[in-house]
Amino acid sequence: MMPALAQDQKAPPLVEQINNGNWLPQAEAESLRDDLYYQTAVQAYIQTLPILNTIGLRDGSEAAFGSGYNVLPIWKDRMDSRAWVPTPNADVIYSMSYLDLKKDGPLVVAAPPNVIGMFTDFYQRTITDVGAIGPDRARGGLYLLLPPDYDGDVPKGYFAFKSSTNNVFLFFRTVMGKGENGPDPAPAVALAERTRIYPLWAPEKDVKPMEFPNASGKRVNMMYPTDSTFWSKLKDYVDYEPVVSIDPVTRGVLAAIGIVKGVPFEPTEKQKELLQKAVITAPKMIMANRQLGRSDKRNLYYKDRQYENTWAAGTAEWSQSNYLDVMQRASFFQVAYSSAPAMVMRTLDAGSKYPFTVRDADGDFLDGSKSYKLHLPPHPPAALFWAVTAYNITDGTMPETDQSLPSINGFNKVKTNEDGSIDLFFGPHKPEASPDTNFIQTVDGRAFLVTVRLYGTGVEFYDQTWKPDDVVKLQ
């Protein structure tokens, strides 16, 4: 017989906290388990959105234009609002393809000169920049992409890189020339069509000829999933890619919801409901985080402006001085894709910068029902070109209006002021003060954001002697 506890004897704190040291009631235990499963699924979404972002790009592209190492869709007449892509750039010529190193083995990409581009793995971690910031230094060159498990010979003469995933994203941008009536895509398209991709060990006679389908003007959905296919596509990715392509902590989060490499993914009916709930709620949580802002204000470019830095002054991989900025990364991939050092490093006259704003000068959110003016001081510090674009705030797609291109760039015939400065206007209808050439149409009743792009960024941007004015609401 156990002796009775002395009157002054106490139970440990957790024993007292949880049901006086007894098991939970069955119904409460089951409810808590379901809640934990749901919360874990939300974290899984946040951690893996970069992967699904790339998968959405690939699946939409391949459904519309075909697949294979030799298929390189090019938006030959620029990308417009009919392409559902996160924050696409309408002011350069896009070439994007998806390479499978497990299927085709090591691949060589002959990159043309003067490309602004990158290769990333499918977690959107940069393999290498291509172009002025890449090893070819804008001269073009042969890039050799090696599978994660490759242990064979690496021949000389290539810029050789091993990918951490079997799938690789190729993203090239070529700069348009200035035509008589605005940007001329033809030189940029011709340059992009010089790209050649072929298996390293294939004889010339067996290499498939390149195909360059024109992706412009087509309705194509290249967005990440918004339903439970998010999880089935993620499971396919986990099964296809090396285990180590995902860090152990994230693998543990995925395992907790039943996604393990080589193991069937068979959620119960209740778990399917929770997964569906997570894929609806998680993007709202990310968006709420963007809406309410950071307490440390690292994301603000200026002390006296509303413009934000989408990397929040971190690295291209969202590393801060002593932590991985997971929520900032998720915020980026909700509205954008492709991050590379050339976008983050303070490179003079070669890199690119993208200050954006969701607020006007008064701190109010930009409202597509209202009219606004943006004043750009003279001489934007952009050796290649500058551009201003409007986007939907939710996912970074272009607002679809009577204008197919909600963007204005330095190659356009834009009306300038006497001092060389430029006033651009936004609204559901053209304000009276706006010239036709200086107007970007918004969607009545829908919020929007404005991005200022500076390609070949100059020193005046970095020392902040040149700053775009805040967007001002017109009365």
pLDDT in tens, 408-458: 999 998 999 999 999 999 999 999 999 999 999 999 999 999 999 999 999
pLDDT tens readout for residues 154-182? 999 999 999 999 999 999 999 998 888 78
This model's pTM is above 0.85: yes
Angle at 341 between CA 340 and CA 343, to 5 degrees: 75
* Residue ranges, the chain, pLDDT below 50: none
CA distances from 59 to 97, 169, 224, 350 (A): 11, 12, 9, 32
pLDDT of residue 395: 97
Q: Nearest-CA neighbor of 411 among 352, 371, 453, 363? A: 453
The Cα 244–Cα 257 span in angstroms is 19
**What pLDDT score was predicted for residue 2?**
53
Secondary structure string (H, E, C) spanning 373-424: EEEECCCCCEEEEEEEEEEECCCCCCCCCCCCCCEEECCCCCCCCCCCCEEE
Output the six-digit token pair for 105.
């083995």
Coil, strand or helix at 172: strand
Q: For residue 275, which phi and psi values (nearest 5 degrees)?
A: -65, -40
